Amino acid sequence: MSAIDYPKSIDLARLPTPIEDLRRLSRRVGARVLAKRDDLTGAALTGNKIRKLEFLLAEALEQGFGGVVTCGGQQSNHARATAVAAARLGLRCHLLLRTTSPDSPPEPSGNILLDRVVGASIEWITPEQYQQRDELMTAAAERLGTEHATRFYVVPEGGSNALGAWGYVRCAEELCDQLGRVPVTIVCAVGSGGTAAGLIAGCRLLGLPYRVVGVCVADDRSTFQARIAAILDEMADRYQLDVRTEPQSIELWEDYVGLGYGVSRDEELACIADVARLEGLILDPVYTGKAMVGLLTELERMRTADPVVFLHTGGIFGLAAVASRLAGTAG
């Protein structure tokens, strides 16, 4: 029995995900580094978004929706996870995907291929239109609802709202079961903030001595401190939880964004290849590759005695977008 009163959820993820010692990496950096394998939540359903969708899609089903609408970048893991989960649940799925020129959309590789295979409809939108994503999703939901004589549930970007974040409250509880109440530093990539918010909330609710550090893969620290604090405020209001947090106290590393969201520097791809050869652990270019560069760089400075748990949040299909460059790192 859990000490936490969770909202209703459905079973989509293979849980608990394992924790593995990265022995050779640990020896090299002189600190114990473990990987929490949330890339093993499923096959096509790989990654962190599945945990959030367990709560979000439970609400959609309970309220009788017949379809879902969500959004993301062109190779969005979240959009792909939503599309696959929707197919599994018998829901229609419509995706608003951001691309520089919607008139010549990208090749159907990686996540886009899976979106297509499971039958999601895709609407390509420009980065300018993407700024109005919430309004566009609401409009699409109305339009499709009329067209298909059902209602479409809007899943916010990254599944990152007060309900989706419960997926990472559950992950914090899982970590407690696996590691116990010992001081560890949890490091995760931050893209829309729901993962970090859920972990912070879970640690608060369970009184865990874990330090949660997010690595920004876009934007800067203050932007994400505000977004994560806003999700925690929303959780506090909606579920009467004592999880409000000062934005400035949310720990984020902002120096590893590199060339920006979804754009890889050579050293990030080299880090992916390096970790793959050292540990057989495959990171992704958009999130976990940048987060690992951050972790390895900070470890040189930190000299922490506490073990570090690197949260592998998935994203393997994103490798398709850097295939030729990554293959070029072969030794």
Give catalytic status of residue 76 as yes or no. yes
Whether residue 318 contacts residue 110, with contact meaning beta carbons closer than 8 Å, is answered with yes
* Residue 317 within binding range of ligand PLP, rule CB under 6 A: no
Sheet of 308-312, strand order: 19-21, 33-37, 308-312, 184-190, 210-216, 251-253
Q: Judged by CB under 6 A, does residue 189 bind ligand PLP?
A: yes
Q: Smallest gap, in angstroms, from Cβ of residue 172 to ligand PLP?
A: 14
Taking CA 268 as the corner, what is the angle to CA 262 and CA 270, rounded to the nearest 5 degrees? 135
Please give the Cα distance from 239 to 325 (Å, whole number): 46
- Tell whether residue 156 is a contact of ligand PLP (CB under 6 A): no
CB of 47 to ligand PLP, least distance (A): 5
- 16: preceding bond cis by omega (within 30 degrees): yes
Q: Is 190 in the site for ligand PLP (CB under 6 A)?
A: yes
Q: Would you state the torsion angle of the CA atoms of residues 200, 202, 207, 210, taken in this order, to the nearest 10 degrees?
A: -50
Under the binding rule (CB under 6 A), the answer on residue 158 touching ligand PLP is yes
What number of chain residues touch ligand PLP (CB under 6 A)?
21
Report in angstroms how near the CB of residue 201 gets to ligand PLP at its nearest. Answer: 13
The residue within the footprint of ligand PLP, chosen from 152, 287, 310, 317 (CB under 6 A), is 287
Considering only 67, 191, 289, 294, the residue that binds ligand PLP (CB under 6 A) is: 191
Distance in Å from the first CA to the final CA of the chain: 50
CB 94 within 8 A of CB 67: yes
Cβ of residue 185: shortest distance to ligand PLP, in angstroms? 17
C-beta of 34 vs 252, nearer to ligand PLP: 252
Pick 36 or 49: Cβ nearer ligand PLP? 49
| Near ligand PLP by CB under 6 A: residue from 74, 82, 111, 195 | 195
Q: Among 120-128, 178-186, 187-195, 260-268, which window interacts with ligand PLP (CB under 6 A)? A: 187-195
From 2, 9, 26, 76, active-site residue: 76
CA distance linking residue 184 with residue 210, whole number of Å = 5
Angle at 311 between CA 309 and CA 312, to 5 degrees: 130
Residues 29-68 that bind ligand PLP (CB under 6 A): 47-49
Residue 148 CB neighbours (<10 A): 13
Q: Which two structure tokens, joined as six digits, stand for 159?
A: 């599944």
Catalytic residue set: 76
Residues that bind ligand PLP (CB under 6 A): 47-49, 77-78, 158, 160, 189-196, 284, 287-288, 313-315
